[in-house]
């Protein structure tokens, strides 16, 4: 039973355009969500997070949107750069006190 789902295994975007990565969750107890970026042979790197009391959080080129009623969140990267090419993982926790549950990841390729 996958509690966090990233239904798109891969995504290709042209440099300068917007990348939109999607994530759905099923557990209504989740109230804190994180996005991690992972390069090959490296550990996941924290990117951005959002609490369920918000519906948007922005940090530079990265914005995360949360739609609680739909149990859906998305990560927007604009403008996309070749260095953004990596696997992006969505993760969720309940009040930060339960282990992070990860999706399977989406491989983003930004084409120059």
Partner 1 sequence: NAGVMQNPRHLVRRRGQEARLRCSPMKGHSHVYWYRQLPEEGLKFMVYLQKENIIDESGMPKERFSAEFPKEGPSILRIQQVVRGDSAAYFCASSPLTLTEAFFGQGTRLTVV
Residues that bind partner 1 (CB under 8 A): 4, 6, 32, 34, 36, 41-46, 49, 89, 91, 93, 95-105
Cis link prior to 79 (omega < 30° from 0)?
Answer: yes
Query: Would you say 91 or 108 has its CB closer to partner 1?
Result: 91
Under 8 Å between Cβ of 31 and 52: yes
Query: Would you say 45 or 81 has its CB closer to partner 1?
Result: 45
Q: Closest separation between CB of residue 101 and partner 1, Å?
A: 7
Query: Would you say 42 or 112 has its CB closer to partner 1?
Result: 42
CA-wise closest residue to 102 among 58, 13, 36: 36
């Amino acid at each position: 039973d996958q509690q966090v789902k990233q239904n798109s295994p891969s995504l290709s975007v042209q440099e300068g355009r917007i990348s939109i990565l999607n994530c759905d969750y099923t557990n209504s107890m989740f109230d804190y969500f994180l996005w991690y970026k992972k390069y090959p042979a490296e550990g996941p790197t924290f990117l951005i997070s959002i609490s369920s009391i918000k519906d948007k959080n922005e940090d530079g080129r990265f914005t995360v949107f949360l739609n609680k009623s739909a149990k859906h969140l998305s990560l927007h990267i604009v403008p996309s750069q070749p260095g953004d090419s990596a696997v992006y993982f969505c993760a969720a926790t309940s009040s930060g006190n339960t282990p992070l549950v990860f999706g399977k990841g989406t491989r983003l390729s930004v084409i120059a």
